[in-house]
Structure 1
Amino acid sequence: MSKKLYSEFQMKELKKNSNITSVSERSISYSPKFKINAVKEYKNGKIPSQIFIEHGFDIEMIGKDQPKRCLRRWRETFERYGEEGFLSERRGKGSTGRPSSSSLSPEEQLKKAEARIKFLEAENDFPKKARSSRKAGVEEETILRQSEKFYLIDRTIQKHRLKKAISYLCELAGVSRSGYYDWLNASPKRAKREEQDEADIVLIKEIFKKKDKKAGALQIKMFMENDHSTVMNPKKIRRLMAKYNLITKIRRANPYRKMAKATKEHCTCPNLLNREFNQNEPGKVLLTDITYLYYGKGQKAYLSCVKDSTTKEIVAYHLSSSLEMDIVYSTLKKLKLAVGKTFHSEAILHSDQGFHYTHPQFQHRVKTLGLTQSMSRKGNCWDNAPMESFFGHFKDWAEYKTCKNIREVRKEVYRVIEEYNHRRYQWGINKMTPVQYRSHLLAA
């Protein structure tokens, strides 16, 4: 059984070779005819890799060591049984020296099944966070490292006192028997290394804690050398920090900044508003912006709002789990539905110079709605102060941090905005609610 894991594509390619009878993720079964020819060609002076290449195999695909391993096993079979050793059993099991399952007694088959079950149980109980990951096509697959497999084999044998199960469990785990014994023999070295790690981590933890968890591997290395006269390889420091779960507090990338790589097509608009927020006409000046809301276990949602600067009413809003352009497109659609047939003849949509609002497609949609776009000066939050003020108050009122999922956040956002528009009286608009004040101005 090969240690190499074959992908779906590789298995399909290998099956095209007539010298192969079957392929699985872990193994290749070769035809008896090819095995006999390979042994004969080897005796005539050809090397294993040359034999495989001449019979249409891609050495990089099957593994560089595969030809040598196969020929060694096949030669032993040929010397003991001749050609009949490859033809007498299906898939040429004589070449492996493994007995057919049909030749096992019922008691032996039961012990084999029990060993398999115990190993799979141990594998299932093994902590997932201790496993390594590899890319398998699009999805990410979690697999066990070779050393972890050896550990599970040993634990299964010791715990359940299994006898004569090493070969079978190694085959089941996809590792070699010799590799397992090498791993066992290296136990004293591993114990010594573990003891050394326990001693080395003490100073690393001390520095890490002293620096309020804000020191990385290179910083810790410099503190060790300058303050404690201790030299340690930064790779070892990183390994120990990962092993003992010392995670450095670092500045997280601003989600807005990730989106802010504007192209030449992006362009800003002049500040037409100039902080003249109160126009005494509902719908004449609309302010928009996006804020983030943390909920659950560090999850993040984004709230896009449009506010009437005169009435202070939240005219439209959209909550999303993504900062993609759809968040502002959906907000515009809801704004259109909220306003109805037509906007104010001199309506202005004012925002900051964020990526979304300088995007040519967004500006085109704003223009299609009949709105004139205006933007704050770069880095000047005061030019959109009422919108910023609302978000500040919103985060004081809303209990979104206790929400477990986006659906609960959406309900909380709806509750707070409904209360703000219809039931929260404001001194600056004649002690009315935003909706009442809009009706008051329209009636006047």
Structure 2
Amino acid sequence: MKLENPIDKDKKIREEIKLIVKATKGRYDYRRVCTTLRNKGLVVNHKRVLRIMRQEGLLCNKFKTRSRKCSSYKGQVGKVAPKLVNRNFKTNSPNKLWLTDVTEFRIKGHGNLVIHSDQRFHYQHSTWSSKLRKLNIRQSMSRKGNCLDNSPMENFFEILKQEMYYGVEFKNYEQLRKEIELYIKWYNEDRIKTKLNGMSPVERLCNILCIEPPD
């Protein structure tokens, strides 16, 4: 049995790391890069991956910018729905539970920026609740000062901004909208999560349902 040359193996690992970083647009830290390598059959120590990424200047810098927090709670302005979720996020199929939140994206070069107010103002409004009723969707709200049920959506917005928005200049709304749509597709179908044993959300769901992931 012929052993692989250590120099050739190191070169192969470096090239694979470069491909992973390029494919993920620099959004993966060394731990996710290490997991992706293992998914490809290359078992590499995470310290080695970290060292190589430092040497090649490939370390993720998407999470250096922190978003500012804003509060615009307007008090009760409409109907407050009951709390149905209670941090139970487990479902056995898609479209059983939706989370929603409000976040702000600023497009450089435009002065007519529209700023969204706090989520409770929007989701108590009659136009929103009537639209949900027409679509036969039940409404659920956290109590003021207790937003644990909404935290997964807030965390997603934070990750989205860190990985595809901060540090990138968007020329117009259409470009921003397209990039957000592409990111959401990538997040669901390709972005691996350590909490999901190195699988993407779609791969994890298909694994649970024992079906093949979509191409």
TM-score with structure 2 length normalisation? Answer: 0.55
Return closer, same or farther for 1:286/1:393 CA change in 2, 3 Å cut-off: same
Partner of 2:19: none
Partner of 1:419: 186
Partner of 1:292: 104
Preserved contact between residue 101 and residue 119 of structure 2 (Cα < 8 Å) = no
Alignment of 1:306-385 (within 5 A): 323=116, 354-385=120-151
Tell me, what secondary structure is at the counterpart of 1:439? Answer: helix
Please state how far the C-alpha of 1:359 moved relative to its aligned partner: 1.4
Preserved contact between residue 296 and residue 403 of structure 1 (Cα < 8 Å) = yes
Deviations along 1:129-148, whole A, 9 cap, x unmatched? xxxxxxxxxxxxxxxxxxxx
Residue 431 of structure 1 pairs with residue 175 of structure 2: no
Q: How many residues align?
A: 141
Partner of 2:95: 283
Please state how far the C-alpha of 1:394 moved relative to its aligned partner: 0.6
Tell me, what secondary structure is at the counterpart of 1:418? Answer: helix
Between the aligned partners of 2:196 and 2:112, the Cα distance in structure 1 is 33
Residue 396 of structure 1 pairs with residue 208 of structure 2: no
Q: Comparing both structures, which one devotes a greater share of its residues to strand?
A: 1
Alignment of 1:44-193 (within 5 A): none
- Identify unmatched segments of 5+ residues in structure 2: 1-69
Tell me, what secondary structure is at the counterpart of 2:100? Answer: strand
Preserved contact between residue 282 and residue 441 of structure 1 (Cα < 8 Å) = no
Partner of 2:85: 273
Partner of 1:410: 177
Deviations along 1:281-339, whole A, 9 cap, x unmatched? 432221111110123147587xxxxxxxxxxxxxxxxxxx6749xxxxxxxxxxxxxxx
Return closer, same or farther for 1:379/1:298 CA change in 2, 3 Å cut-off: farther
Partner of 2:9: none
CA RMSD of aligned residues (A): 3.0
Preserved contact between residue 281 and residue 441 of structure 1 (Cα < 8 Å) = no
Q: Comparing both structures, which one devotes a greater share of its residues to helix?
A: 1
Between the aligned partners of 1:284 and 1:412, the Cα distance in structure 2 is 27
Deviations along 1:67-125, whole A, 9 cap, x unmatched? xxxxxxxxxxxxxxxxxxxxxxxxxxxxxxxxxxxxxxxxxxxxxxxxxxxxxxxxxxx
Between the aligned partners of 1:280 and 1:379, the Cα distance in structure 2 is 30
Between the aligned partners of 2:159 and 2:181, the Cα distance in structure 1 is 15
Alignment of 1:198-277 (within 5 A): 257=72, 260=74, 263=77, 266-277=78-89
Identical positions, percent:
36
Between the aligned partners of 2:177 and 2:119, the Cα distance in structure 1 is 27
Preserved contact between residue 357 and residue 363 of structure 1 (Cα < 8 Å) = yes
Tell me, what secondary structure is at the counterpart of 2:160? Answer: helix
Between the aligned partners of 2:83 and 2:196, the Cα distance in structure 1 is 25
Preserved contact between residue 102 and residue 116 of structure 2 (Cα < 8 Å) = no
Deviations along 1:379-408, whole A, 9 cap, x unmatched? 323221110110111111113641122122
Return closer, same or farther for 1:291/1:299 CA change in 2, 3 Å cut-off: farther
Between the aligned partners of 1:406 and 1:353, the Cα distance in structure 2 is 22
Please state how far the C-alpha of 1:432 moved relative to its aligned partner: 1.9
Partner of 1:331: none
- Identify unmatched segments of 5+ residues in structure 1: 1-253, 302-320, 325-351
Deviations along 1:32-78, whole A, 9 cap, x unmatched? xxxxxxxxxxxxxxxxxxxxxxxxxxxxxxxxxxxxxxxxxxxxxxx
Between the aligned partners of 1:394 and 1:299, the Cα distance in structure 2 is 23
Return closer, same or farther for 1:274/1:299 CA change in 2, 3 Å cut-off: farther
Please state how far the C-alpha of 1:376 moved relative to its aligned partner: 1.0
Preserved contact between residue 376 and residue 384 of structure 1 (Cα < 8 Å) = yes
Structure with bigger RCO (C-alpha 8 Å, 6+ apart): 2
